[in-house]
Amino acid sequence: MAGMDWAARLPPWISRWIGYRATPPPKLPPWGAWFWAWIGSFCGLCVLQAVFGQASYFIDREIPPIVAGFGASAVLLWGIVESPLSQPRALFVGHFISALTGVIITKLFRLLPTYERYLELQWLAGSLSCSTAIVLMMITNTMHPPAGATALLAAVNEEVRDMGWYYLPVSLLSCALLLAVALLTNNIQRQYPTFWFYQSPPPPILPVSTKEVSNVNVTVTPTDSFVSSNR
């Protein structure tokens, strides 16, 4: 686990909860994965809605209790924990790039002469936001599919659009809350993440020399039918 070497130097009671294992954990039966996927996603989404839906700080600023894209992130964080799309780097950078892209493009469209004209063209703003965010995630190798909704909603959802630049810290805080719950629930019997910043390259396939091939003894035993057919 070269991508987690730094975590190996931490005490085991810490490193376990950030995804490090000296040896891979035993594979859970399907019902075990289903159980922890349900528990983890339920807790994660409840925490998000509790923070943004109950804290007066966010209520006073009319922050929606949850942004729809983070429901899709929960699918990855608890349903496909080994996927590169689910790892922390993709989660944070994917959502942040998408939120930033959506806000910038939306603000450019808001420079139109009238708000009514913007509403007529918000479909274009949303499409440009999402498609641009996809390309930026590809360039930065931080593909996180739910972040496409993060960019799209910045243009087409009134609650999100009215947040303006405040959408960026809200997105990062949402990522941090989901990640904290994922680290707790996914590391009880599973392992998450498999890497934090970069994915370890696969071991190289070494070429086999002609000398090594010539030293391999191969014994061929003919079957009874083959022997009988040649008598």
Q: Compute the mean pLDDT over every residue in the chain, rounded to the nearest whole number.
A: 87
DSSP H stretches of helix in the chain: 5-8, 12-15, 30-54, 56-60, 69-79, 88-109, 115-140, 147-156, 158-161, 167-186, 210-214, 224-229
| pLDDT tens digits along 83-139 | 999 999 999 999 999 999 999 999 999 999 999 999 999 999 999 999 999 999 999
Q: What is the pLDDT of residues 136-188, one digit of tens each?
A: 999 999 999 999 999 999 999 999 999 999 999 999 999 999 999 999 999 99
Contact 149, 122 (CB under 8 A): no
What's the rounded Cα separation, in Å, for the pair 89 and 77? 12
* Measured distance CA(141)–CA(226) in Å, rounded: 56
Prediction pTM value: 0.82
Q: At what angle do helices 88-109 and 167-186 cross, to 10 degrees?
A: 160
> Where along the chain do its domains lie?
11-19+27-186
Distances (CA, A) of 75 to 44, 45, 111, 118, 144: 11, 11, 36, 33, 11
Query: Cis before residue 193, ω within 30 degrees of 0?
Result: yes
Residue in 181, 174, 191 with CA at minimum distance from that of residue 39:
181
